[in-house]
Amino acid sequence: MKIAVVGCGALGSFYGAKLCRAGHEVHFLLRSDFGAVRREGVHIESAEESFHAQPRCARIPGEIGPADLVLVCLKTTANFALPQLLPALNGPQTTFLTLQNGLGNEAAIAAIAGAEKTMGGLCFVCLNRVAPGRIRHIAHGAVVMGEHGRRPQARTHHIAQTLVGAGVSCRVAENLEQAHWEKLVWNIAFNGLGVAGAAGLEAVRQGRIKPGARLGACLTTDLLLSDAGWEQLARELMMETIAAARALGLDVPEATAERQVERTRQMGAYKASTLIDFERGQELELEGLFLEPLRQARQAGVPCPRLTALCEVLTRIAAGAGRK
């Protein structure tokens, strides 16, 4: 397949490198990392298997042209650029697969390319970009993928098998929306508290940062689960998310929370993506990960006091409150 990767950070580089190594014609759309990746390729460092791949590199979408598969791995804060990035990659048989976090990404792509060309995927993986073209794989790597607004098609299974052939554990979801909410159970708790934790436990519980207060250190997953107060708050957020999903008619089991807590214990001192964005001074992905889920929960009539408070604190932090 001819595959284009739009958004070549940790996520896009990891899956793109695997597909490249498997023999596909993989094109990376790059900006700041263009020179390094063109010269040296992509290096994946992993306890499971380290390897090197040499994808083709482009600065603008027109240099790539229409692709069979486009992996959209941008931060959702860059979705405003999709109308400029995607059309040149779109051909008669193109499929767009977004691997972005949160809600609403498939709809944004469907508005440009059409719903029938749009798929979504959720990545359960611990990755960090440590340097241009260098990705550290910490744990996991599975992808759950499905169609936007419809049940799986023949092409859904074909693309899933393409990922499996590249060494990626992949499962097709009958209901993509349900899969999104299952991942939100983890993302809301651990991405959210990783950053909001810098304001302190009581501030996050109350949903406010005191005037003049200064932020402390952000919290990795091991710190969140080694403290009884933070772990309890994480579990409360997870159960609110599950309640919202169930009110929306999605069959997300309550046992999802416990399974995800135990999986997170295996990650060690992992920095969730929102925490890394905050430390780098980048815009936080608040809309799809936190604010839209809260809006949908409220519309479904589910009270979410913990999520409401978390959104208040994250919004204040994103606006600069408490930064030194």
The residues annotated with a catalytic role in the active site are 183
Q: Strand locations in 59-161, DSSP E?
A: 69-72, 95-98, 118-131, 134-147
Find out whether 80 and 292 touch, Cβ atoms under 8 Å. Answer: no
Beta strands at 69-72 and 118-131: parallel, antiparallel or unpaired: unpaired
**CA nearest to 207, candidates 294, 285, 276:** 294
* Residue 3 φ then ψ, to 5°: -125, 130
**CA nearest to 114, candidates 137, 90, 80:** 90
- Rounded to whole angstroms, the Cα distance separating 243 from 191 reads 19
Q: Tell me which DSSP letter residue 58 carries.
A: E
* Cα 208 versus chain centre, distance: 26
- Rounded to whole angstroms, the Cα distance separating 289 from 183 reads 10
* Residue 143 φ then ψ, to 5°: -120, 135
- Rounded to whole angstroms, the Cα distance separating 54 from 13 reads 11
Find out whether 215 and 194 touch, Cβ atoms under 8 Å. Answer: no
* Residue 110 φ then ψ, to 5°: -60, -35
Find out whether 135 and 147 touch, Cβ atoms under 8 Å. Answer: no
